[in-house]
Amino acid sequence: MKKDAETARVSPLAGTERAFFEGRREELRAGYEASAQELVDAWEASAGAVAALARKRFRDVRFTTFFGTVVLRCREGVGADGRWTCPALAHLGLRPNQRYSPDMERRMAVLAAETGSYEKSSGVADAAAWLSASDSAVRSAVMRLGAAAEAAPPKEPCARAAGPEDTLVIMADGWNARHRGANWGLDKDNRELPDRIHWHEIRSAVLFRLSDLLAVSGKRKALMRKHVAAVPADTSPYDFGALLHREAVRMGLLRAKAVFFVMDGGVWLWRIYEDRFEKCSEAMLDFYHLSQHLHVLAAALHGADAAKAQAWCGKLLHDLKHKSPRRLFKTLDELLADPPSSDPAVLEAIREQSAYFRNHAGHMDYAANAALGVPIGSGSVESLCSQFQNRLKRTGQFWTKAGFAALLRIIVQNWNGELDSLWLASAA
């Protein structure tokens, strides 16, 4: 073993690619700078916005790129409003005093969205992307881009929107994230103080064309493409409903041949459906959520006899899934007319669950919808919530509201393939 350890060595190629790149980085930087300067010069030569300036002079615009810091010589002057302006910045999609190029900011945004923390983003940037970006630089980029995403959300139709031959499926749910309270940061002797940690529900949704839900093996299906939506803490159900409706329109709500809204029994979800989607889509109660209510009723009816309760549920669920809800409602009518017990708890369970199922009588056409290929469960949004939590609910993560909101918006736009909308350039 000792001899093997002594003779073992790292491949002579290890590290040579990065060293080769670093040795030519300055050449690439200079070449990129020259190319960008040519672009600026050509545009300024014919741009009316530049010609209209008074008291024109040159200004050095400096920012960091993947290849290093570049300096562009741009025209600035006094505009019609009497203020100094540099039209080339708007043409390039740059802010005044911008530190990083759009491509650099995009890299940092993706790293922040896809890794577990800003610190990990910095480590991955250096090791895998040969990119020098501190964790504070990544966080600063996320905060700025998150604000930009809030101020100007995408409005154009989605690239994979449903058309007249498509079925659009919408699913929504919520999950909880930890935020810092007013007493956050106090030492461990004060951990019992109130208002240290706040839990907030993060409302989220997934929208997709039914044709993008593909079978991968046996009965297992996978969602190949999706569009997601989410709102930060303290967003009201009403505002989430407005955002979800806007995203649904972008995804083809008004053009699709059919629209299905699948959700669990959350009251706030059904209010959003009634307010925004009732006239343009068909609602379906998540089958798993329905089965939970049926098992609650079975437990009340059969007590400790779990096998009997399971068998009772099994027959009803089979008919619900493969036939119709008729057997369920016939059973409920019989239980109400002739309860199997005078126990108040049993009677209350029968009344409560019967009212629940009656309230959703029009949302249980599972057999017909399954025949169309429409999922009868909300597994896709459950999976989405899990993906969000994998990034935003890790051990030790306690967010400020502003920090959480900014990163959430970046994650959403990254997953939707719409990050580029954050660097829109002027058409002037």
Parts of the chain belonging to CATH 3.30.420: 167-286+377-422
Q: Are 138 and 112 in contact (CB under 8 A)?
A: yes
- Among 1.20.120, 3.30.1140, 3.30.420, 1.10.12, name the CATH number for the domain at 167-286+377-422: 3.30.420
Hey, CA dihedral for 163, 168, 174, 178, is it positive or negative?
A: negative
Which is higher by pLDDT, 221 or 403?
403
Write out pLDDT tens, residues 30-54. Answer: 999 999 999 999 999 999 999 999 9
Mean pLDDT computed over every residue of the chain: 92
Strand order across the beta sheet in which 197-209 lies: 227-230, 197-209, 167-180, 258-263, 282-285
Q: How far is CA 312 from CA 308, 387, 393, in A?
A: 6, 35, 39
Write out pLDDT tens, residues 128-174. Answer: 889 889 999 999 999 999 999 999 999 999 999 999 999 999 999 99
* For residue 428, pLDDT beyond 70: no
pLDDT of the residue at 49: 94
pLDDT of the residue at 396: 86
The whole-angstrom separation of Cα 55 and Cα 35 is: 27
Q: C-alpha dihedral over 377, 378, 380, 382, to 10 degrees?
A: -130
For 279-286, the CB contacts below 8 A with 24+ separation are: 280/253, 280/254, 281/168, 281/170, 281/253, 282/258, 282/369, 283/362, 283/363, 284/260, 284/363, 284/364, 284/365, 284/366, 284/369, 284/374, 284/376, 285/360, 285/363, 285/364, 286/262, 286/376, 286/377, 286/378
pTM of the model: 0.90
Instruction: Report the b/e string of 305-341 with b at 16+ CB within 10 A.
Output: eeeebeebbeebbebbeeeebeebeebbeebeeeeee
